Structure formats: C-alpha cells, structure tokens
Amino acid sequence: MKTFNLSGELRLGSRWNKFSKEIPANDEDHARDLLFARFGSKHKLPRRFINLLEISEVEASTVLQEPKNNAKARKETE
C-alpha cells in the first residue's frame, strides 16, 4: 500500500482553510475517495466544499507517523 500526501482547502463556515493530509491508499483515486469520506464524516462537509489542489506519492522513508488515539494509548499503558 502506498502513502499519498493530499493538500488543498476546505470550507468551514464562511472561511476556506488550508489542509494537508497523508493517507495510505492503493492509488490516487482511492486516496481521494478516502479524503472526501473522512472530511465528510468528521466535519459534515459535502464534496463541493473540499478543493483538492495537489496529490503526491510520499516515499516510505518520509511518511509521518499517525498520532495514537488517546483511548487506545491509555489501554496499552494499563
């Protein structure tokens, strides 16, 4: 599975905010669909409020580590 860096802007309220996300996916189309699904689910945004400006594949050595979910991290320490 490859990792893609997707950047662009999304509309929250009346303002457009820039974003950059690293998403593991099989190809660019899959990464684009996952991004729309995540922003739609988390922020209740329709696709028309998400402007995707750039998609680039990230080399495996430069992939950022995802932060651990706090609840998951607490269970691991108990």
Q: For the chain of 78 residues, list the mean pLDDT of each consecutive stretch of 10.
A: 93 94 93 94 93 91 59 50
- The reported pLDDT for the residue numbered 72 is 53
Residue 71: per-residue pLDDT: 52
| Residue 28 neighbours by CB under 8 Å, 6+ apart | 4, 55
Is the Cβ–Cβ distance between 4 and 28 less than 8 Å?
yes
For the chain, domains (ranges, CATH) are 2-77 (3.10.20.10)
Query: What distance in Å separates the CA atoms of residue 44 and residue 39, rounded to the nearest whole number?
Result: 7
pLDDT at 77: 47
pLDDT at residue 8 in the model:
96
